[in-house]
Amino acid sequence: MAIRSARTGDGPERPGVLKIGEVSRLSGIGVEALRFYERNGLLDRPSRTGSGYRVYGPEVLDRLAFIKQAQVLGFSLDEIKKIIGDARAGRSPCDEVREIVRRRLEELDERVREMLSYRKDLAATLEEWDERGRAPGHICGLIEGAEIDHPMKQARRAQPKGKRLKNREA
């Protein structure tokens, strides 16, 4: 399970030529995920040994680092693919990428703002519970009552069809 210790080859052929498991170990990205990335155009199809094993050059690690970093920065795999694709097609992706990054920055700011606001609500909720949640006769001060008078009891009642909260978390 955990880091199956040192084993057979970490550079058996020429150094700098990697099999998928080695790439996985070095990048920390599972073998299946690597094939998944390849299927989905995030990694180029590597060359193969006579028997069909994938053979990677070391640059794949940079690509993977880029992918991971981009993910961490909030890009979806589709966006990452687009950036890579554009770059390789010669069409300078810079402006477009910058656009994406700028949008992402704004979204990020918005999210942080939302989160802080939710944080405030949460903390307020907690306090309210501390104050009135212990009154005898009701179980928790929520569910039974009007579930605390948070905003939103107004905010609802628009948008009849779903699709606004979805899985955008938070």
Partner DNA sequence: CTTGACTCTGTACTCGGCTACAGGGTTTAT
Partner DNA sequence: ATAAACCCTGTAGCCGAGTACAGAGTCAAG
Tell me which residues touch DNA (CB under 7 A). 4, 7-9, 12, 19-22, 24, 30-33, 35-36, 48-54, 71, 76-78, 161-163, 165-167
Counting contacts by CB under 8 A, is residue 83 touching a copy of itself?
Answer: yes
Counting contacts by CB under 8 A, is residue 102 touching a copy of itself?
Answer: yes
If contact means CB under 5 to 8 A according to the sort of partner, which of DNA, a copy of itself, none does residue 84 touch? a copy of itself
The CA-based dihedral angle spanning residues 94, 64, 105, 82, taken in that order and rounded to the nearest 10 degrees: 50
If contact means CB under 5 to 8 A according to the sort of partner, which of DNA, a copy of itself, none does residue 14 touch? none
**Choices 11-19, 40-48, 50-58, 134-142 (CB under 8 A): range interacting with a copy of itself:** 134-142
Closest by CA to 37, choosing from 16, 50, 19, 20, is: 20
If contact means CB under 5 to 8 A according to the sort of partner, which of DNA, a copy of itself, none does residue 134 touch? a copy of itself
Q: How far apart are CA 127 and CA 152, in angstroms?
A: 19
Compare residues 48 and 150 and give the one whose CB is closer to a copy of itself.
150
- 47-48/54-55 β-pairing: antiparallel
**Token duo for residue 130:** 């501390």
Compare residues 67 and 141 and give the one whose CB is closer to DNA.
67
DSSP 3: -
Question: What's the helix, strand, coil split of the chain in %, to 5?
Answer: 50, 5, 50
